[in-house]
Structure 1
Amino acid sequence: MRLLLVEDDNHVAAALSAVLAKHGFVVVHARSGEQALQALLPAANEGKPPFGVVLLDLGLPDQDGFQVCGKIRKISSTPVIMVTARADVRSRIHGLNLGADDYVTKPYDTGELLARIHAVSRRVPSEEEPERAADASPDLGRLSIETDTRRVTVDGSAVQLTRKEFELLALLAQRPGVVFRREQIISEVWRTSWAGTGRTLEVHVASLRHKLGMPALIETVRGVGYCLVVPPAHQGQ
């Protein structure tokens, strides 16, 4: 996911960009409100994936972040998360009323920030991706996943999964063949950045392979993460 980070402090931006990159984000850094607005214009992103989220600091050198948020809403529906030291209730309310999708105060827990990023990107699709919101479940051959009912079947037979097993499978099934980094999976499914969750992830992957009866369905990409592979019987049809 491409993410627009609007932050005038280069040291803060560099540290946060490193964390976000580790979790699979491609970060574009804007140091002012004007740079942020220019980055969101369609002409600036021709041929590039749209931004999934904007992280917007309020203390910018050229204009207040509240003003920037209002201007963003006139040109884009990209989710905006205000990330600021202003913790008073009035600022929170004002930001949300201007169109921000979330409001996070500094200092923040990195795991919580990552969870909020993933949450708003799921529930607020950008205008550049209207087909994603209405897109049907991907064609997975023998495997069927119904996200609304949380029902999973293999060859028409229902498979009982735990809540986390379902969320893990549904995440991988969003983009079959695409490798999801371990950190990204842990962030989205377990809402944490704690490295100790890695063992829990491995256990859930093993359990899914066993319950679905398709050991090759979830491929381990050593040192990176996991991806869902369409069952061979379906490939080439």
Structure 2
Amino acid sequence: MDKETILVVDDEKEIRDLVGIYLANDNYKVLKAGNGVEALNLLNKEEVDLIILDVMMPTMDGIEACMKIREDKNMPIIMLSAKSEDMDKIMGLTTGADDYVTKPFNPLELLARVKSQLRRYKRLNTAIDKKEEIIEIEDLIINTNTHEVRVGDKEIKLTPREFEILYLLGKNKNIVFSIEKIYSMVWKEEFYESDNTVMVHIRKIREKIEDNPRKPRFIKTVWGVGYKIEN
């Protein structure tokens, strides 16, 4: 099993080293940075599972660094600060931090918070993965990450538009989508009355995933309303 990687960001070397010793003794891989800029550079090169981030630092402080990290990353962030006023805690948490520890701190307490945040993060991500990565309708399987579709043992080749339509219906089982709604959500353009693009795509999808396209198991027609996939 790979070690989880913790990035410790603090302008005080003594704190970086102290926290690093406790983390390493608990079998974590430790990366260190002296300010926000160094931290961002490391994050571009390394996979990091959690960040311990000091607030008061030169070059780029923890608040600014936290905001930049949150632009495209969602790993847990624990803020460290010598300031204990409520407003400082609120500022840290509203910029995207998950927890806040006030200096001076007990390294064992910090370690306990690291473990707690990692457990929470794993549970959340596992729930999201199970919910969103795979959509199953009988023997039809839609993998939303790899854009793969299978019916039983057979791999189905869909165009990107066909996949988006199938994904839309599969993700929202039992909900009827009108032709206009499907068009606007997939093509992101205004629908015109005479446009039969959606109907053509539905027909092509059925030809690929249905045993008998005239009696579809998956994509059902609700006459006068639209299409749906039943649970």
TM-score (norm 1): 0.50
1:85 equivalent to 2:55? Answer: no
112, 126, 129: which one aligns with 1:115: 112
Name structure 1 gaps, 5 residues minimum.
Answer: 136-237
User: How far off is 1:90 after superposition?
Assistant: 0.2
1:34 equivalent to 2:31? Answer: no
Contact 2:35–2:61 under 8 Å retained in 1: no
Alignment of 1:131-150 (within 5 A): 134=129
Cα distance between partner residues in 1 of 2:13 and 2:22: 14
Cα distance between partner residues in 2 of 1:77 and 1:116: 17
What corresponds to 1:59 in structure 2? Answer: 56
Alignment of 1:175-214 (within 5 A): none
What corresponds to 1:209 in structure 2? Answer: none
Q: Which amino acid aligns with 1:58?
A: V
1:21 equivalent to 2:18? Answer: no
Alignment of 1:153-232 (within 5 A): none
Question: CA 1:134/1:8 → structure 2, altered by over 3 Å: closer, same or farther?
Answer: same
Q: Which amino acid aligns with 1:96?
A: L
CA offset digits 1:6-56 (Å, max 9, x no partner): 011112211221121111111100111111111112xx12xxxx3121000
Q: Which amino acid aligns with 2:57?
A: L
Answer 1 or 2: higher relative contact order, Cα 8 Å, separation at least 6. Answer: 1
Identity, % of aligned positions: 34
What is the RMSD computed on CA atoms of the aligned residues? 2.3
TM-score (norm 2): 0.51
102, 109, 114: which one aligns with 1:105: 102
Corresponding residue pairs, total: 128
Q: Which amino acid aligns with 2:95?
A: L
Cα distance between partner residues in 2 of 1:56 and 1:85: 12
Kindly name which structure, 1 or 2, has the bigger radius of gyration based on alpha carbons: 2
Question: CA 1:131/1:89 → structure 2, altered by over 3 Å: closer, same or farther?
Answer: closer
Name structure 2 gaps, 5 residues minimum.
Answer: 131-231
Cα distance between partner residues in 2 of 1:58 and 1:110: 17
Contact 1:125–1:133 under 8 Å retained in 2: no
Cα distance between partner residues in 2 of 1:59 and 1:34: 13
CA offset digits 1:65-112 (Å, max 9, x no partner): 111111110021011000111110000011111110000001112221
Question: CA 1:68/1:18 → structure 2, altered by over 3 Å: closer, same or farther?
Answer: same
